[in-house]
Structure 1
């Protein structure tokens, strides 16, 4: 990778890590459904200028419902109900574990020995984190947050079917496909009057946070990530995502004074190590078919 591309990959990881902090700030003023709706409504603005990519509506909606709507709504609910931001950033990255596991079922992809070891190590880390649940946040909040990496992984596999389309256009329309049902959900769960009242009473910090989440963390960062994946192999790009939980945890520690007990910290490090083994392991070269 060129130095400029390495810089972009690191920049995206930093943006996503800081995005967890921005989400927490926005959730201090907005309910989870409204915050997530605004996130995608802002990120969907480019749909006014770009045409829908050549992807069927059923596939577009399926990718949007998992990769975006399900992932980020579960994140918002988990963080809003007390899951620490740094811990949330680690749990979400466990999507790598579920992606490899689901690929075995969906595509018959046999993981390498190193990937199996990585899955085992990451699973042990998640169990260690589970041992700390119930002290500063509820089991229910943790269960809802665990939905995020699971649907994230499903979205990753569905995204494979959207080939040869402009990434920026695709992500913009995925955001639109998430914003529409989320708007209806917000009206049903929060009510029009309370939602409007929350919007009118947002502080400058809240407004800046939601703009950063929608325009930068969702629209720009995903576009840059898509470009990197288009120009380079996944093995070159995806490992940079390992920086996300470190940035998220460090930023949360600075912004909110978040601290981790020995068991939780050990679990978080174990999860990241397991993910690193999975992402950095090399697949054996495919055996060419006989003539």
Structure 2
């Protein structure tokens, strides 16, 4: 473990924290949430495809293509789309916090579908997450008043992101993650296409899109993957929970978003639940070298 490893993980968290605030800039320039999600997936697929070709990462075996298509539709189409809708309807800070219900979803799916034991740590993490979501949903301020749909899309994004863990546990060690994203991101873009209304884009809108693709998707992946070479996965996952803090600060500075007192308590419970889940042995999806 080296200090540089922590710096790299922290920089990756900052890159991810930019997603919501920068997406709001694209919305202000006339783009719809699902169009932002589409371009992020489509252009991200180009970057990861070039990366995989440069590294000569090979190809995905034919028997795994069906699973990879399913991952693209759930882990990209549903996840990217739901997250952007949550940002539009509830704000960048709210969406980022609700995304971090993912470890609780993972723990719940492990117990219900995989026959895993419900350990005290998992039970505590699940309880803290539920209470946190209630606090975030019922609290409010003049700037952030979450609607049912905003909370719903935020929870859907957390659920979809949780599936990164189940997919990543099996395939990210078998293939170069960049190769998997070179396949999955274009599939996800195609899945979004029927619901996209394309708009004329200003230079500012294109700048926001390129920032989301180049910084918050591709660069964040490179930083996090490099950081994992220097920091053990559990510690890296905890450091990465600074992402919603970054998102909340930027959302306040750029867009005037401010949680009410109960929402701050709820957000704190959700992030603390991540630490409990990770320390209790259930890793966060981030530890599987996943991009976002």
TM-score normalized with structure 1 length: 0.84
How far does residue 17 in structure 1 lie from its aligned partner after superposition?
0.7
How far does residue 111 in structure 1 lie from its aligned partner after superposition?
4.5
Query: 1:127 maps to which residue?
Result: 134
| Deviating more after overlay: 103-112 vs 208-217 | 103-112
Q: Is the 8 A contact 1:36 1:73 kept in 2?
A: yes
Q: Name which of 48, 57, 75 aligns with 2:65.
A: 57
How far does residue 174 in structure 1 lie from its aligned partner after superposition?
1.7
Partners of 2:58 and 2:85 in 1: how far apart? 30
Unaligned regions of 5+ residues in structure 1, if any? 284-291
Say if 2:233 is the partner of 1:214: no
Q: How does 1:94-243 map to 2 (within 5 A)?
A: 94-132=101-139, 136-162=145-171, 163-186=173-196, 190=197, 195=198, 198-199=199-200, 201-202=201-202, 204-229=203-228, 233-243=232-242
Deviations 1:65-96 (A, max 9, x none): 22222111001112222x02111111001111
Query: 1:88 maps to which residue?
Result: 95
How far does residue 2 in structure 1 lie from its aligned partner after superposition?
2.2
Number of residue pairs aligned between Structure 1 and Structure 2 = 271
| Deviating more after overlay: 273-282 vs 204-213 | 273-282
Query: 2:77 maps to which residue?
Result: 69
Q: Is the 8 A contact 1:133 1:139 kept in 2?
A: no
Partners of 1:210 and 1:52 in 2: how far apart? 29
Say if 2:30 is the partner of 1:9: no
Secondary structure, aligned partner of 1:30: coil
| Deviating more after overlay: 123-132 vs 228-237 | 228-237
| Deviating more after overlay: 108-117 vs 120-129 | 108-117
Q: RMSD of the alignment, in Å?
A: 2.3
TM-score normalized with structure 2 length: 0.84
Deviations 1:77-132 (A, max 9, x none): 12222x02111111001111111111223332324322321221121111122223
Q: Which one has a bigger Cα radius of gyration?
A: 1
Partners of 2:17 and 2:59 in 1: how far apart? 29
Deviations 1:3-50 (A, max 9, x none): 222211111111101222111111222111211111111111132562
Unaligned regions of 5+ residues in structure 2, if any? 283-292
Q: Is the 8 A contact 1:167 1:227 kept in 2?
A: no
Partners of 2:8 and 2:79 in 1: how far apart? 23
Change in Cα spacing, 1:87 to 1:105, as seen in structure 2 (3 Å) is same
Partners of 2:189 and 2:58 in 1: how far apart? 15
